Amino acid sequence: MKKTTWILTALILAIAAGTAMAAAIFAFQSGEKTKNAASAAGGTFYVMEGKLTPKGSLAETGKAQYAKKVVVRKSKPKDFVVVLDPGHGGKDNGASRDNVLEKDVNLAIAKFAEAKLKELGYQVFLTRDADDFISLQGRVDFAAEKKADVFVSFHQNSSGYPDVKGMETYCTSESSGEDGKEFARLLHKAAVKQSGTRDRGILDNASLFVTRENHMPAVLMELGFLTNEAERKNLSSAAYQEKLAQGITEGIHTFLCPNAQTK
C-alpha cells in the first residue's frame, strides 16, 4: 500500500535574549525522518492537531502517544559540533609495523579532517591534538561535554596475514539508532571512494566502547592495515591521509547538511 505523504508548513517565531528564531519549513513523509528542514535550532518536535509542538510541552498534556515524531535537522555547518577522536596516543601506540605507529597516523588524518571541516564552517574538536594518552571514558566524556552532534574515531588495523587490506567502519545501532547506521554508511562510502581502498564493509558492533557509550551518531573507522606493505606506505603518505580526510569530511557534511555542497 502506498504511503500517505504529509506536507507540513510551520512558522516558528520565538524571542530569546532579544533574538528571533528563524522561520522553519518542514516537509515530512509518514513513517520517515524529516527530509527538509531549515531551522536554526533543530531538535525533536511532534505534530499534533496540525501544529508543530516541542516535545516537552506536548508530553505534559499526555498526548504525546498520539503525535507524529519529527526530527528537525539544523541547516548550517556552524550549527553543528563535530568531535574527531584520533585513537590511541601517549603510552598506547596502537598497531605498529616498521616504525609506523597507528597513533601517529590517526592524529595526522584527524588533523586534515579538522581543517577541512572548519573550512566548511563546522565547530570541530579533537579528543587529543598531540601525543597524549586519553582513556576511552575520557573520550566519551569529552564528546558529551562538547555536546557533539557526531563523533568519529580514527584507527588503523592489523592482521597476521600481510595480504589483508582495506577499510572497515563500525557503529553501535542500539546506542545511536538508525541515524548511527546511516552516518556509518555515508562516511564509509565516501572514504572508500576517495581513497580507492578495498571495501571491507560496515559492522554493527556493541563491543566497542566509544560507539556503544556515545549516544549521538558515532563511528569507529579502521582506515587501513599497517601490516599490509602497500597500504602501510599509503597510510604514511600525507597525500593519502588527506584523501581519507576528504572522504570523511564529505560523509559528515552529507549527513549533517544534506542539501549543501562540499567545497
Model confidence over 199-223: pLDDT tens digits? 999 999 999 999 999 999 999 999 9
All residues at 6 or more sequence positions from 9 whose CB lies less than 8 Å from its CB, including other chains: 25, 26
Listed range (43-52, 145-154, 185-194) with the worst mean pLDDT: 43-52
**Taking 80 as the threshold, does the pLDDT of residue 187 lie above it?**
yes
CA distance 205 to 88: 19
Q: Residue 153's closest CA among 199, 99, 113?
A: 113
| Cα-Cα-Cα-Cα dihedral sign, residues 121, 110, 187, 192 | positive
What would the pLDDT profile of 46-76 be if each residue is shown by its tens digit? 444 444 455 444 444 444 444 444 445 567 9
CATH code reported for the domain at 77-256: 3.40.630.40
Domain boundaries, the chain: 5-72, 77-256
Q: Are 183 and 255 in contact (CB under 8 A)?
A: yes
Count of all residues that appear for the chain in the document: 263
Q: Are 211 and 222 in contact (CB under 8 A)?
A: no
pLDDT at 68: 47
DSSP letter for 81, please: E
DSSP letter for 218, please: E
- Looking at the DSSP bridge assignments, the partners of residue 54 are 45
> Which residue type sits at 205?
N
- The pTM of this model reads 0.75
